[in-house]
Amino acid sequence: RFVAAVYTLKTTTHSKVPQLTMIAHKTSTRYTIRKGQGGSQSNFDSSKNKANSIGAQLRREGEKQLREDVVATWKLWRESNYIQCAMGVYVSCPKGMRREYLFGDGNDSVALVTKGDE
């Protein structure tokens, strides 16, 4: 599961007080968790022998598609200047994937936050 929203401050014609306004949001849900076992398939694969079941293959594919969704979302938001004019970006994603989703793990082209950002 991945959820993100971008907010900015806008002043309305009725009130001169700036209000927090959502300018973009995205929700993406994929089958990645091992039901009854807890944790993602990739965590299970790295800790034990790699499972070869159809369910394991579906979960691995779900993780891959989730990553692709996140990369496409960040790319679209950067091209649309949502990130540059944002007051705040709120993200909820799996704990094990936060670093990769937010900082790109060394690949700045897919990261939401890069070293040069303020």
pLDDT of residue 82 exceeding 80: yes
User: How far is the C-alpha of 11 from the C-alpha of 14, rounded, in Å?
Assistant: 8
Structure tokens at 104: 């790109």
Identify the band that residue 6 occupies on the pLDDT scale cut at 50, 70 and 90: very high
* pLDDT, mean over the chain: 77
At 104 the three-state DSSP class reads: helix
Q: Which of 37, 41, 65, 84 is catalytic?
A: 41
- List 90's β-bridge partners, or say none: 5
37 annotated active-site? no
What is the pTM (predicted TM-score) of this model?
Answer: 0.70
pLDDT of residue 94 exceeding 90: no
pLDDT digits (tens, 9 = 90+) for 9-59: 888 777 778 888 899 999 988 777 666 665 666 666 666 667 677 777 887
Q: What is the DSSP letter of 49?
A: P
Distances in whole angstroms, Cα of residue 68 to Cα of each of 49, 58, 75: 26, 15, 11
If 0-12 CB within 10 Å is exposed, 13-18 middle and 19+ buried, where does residue 40 land? Answer: buried
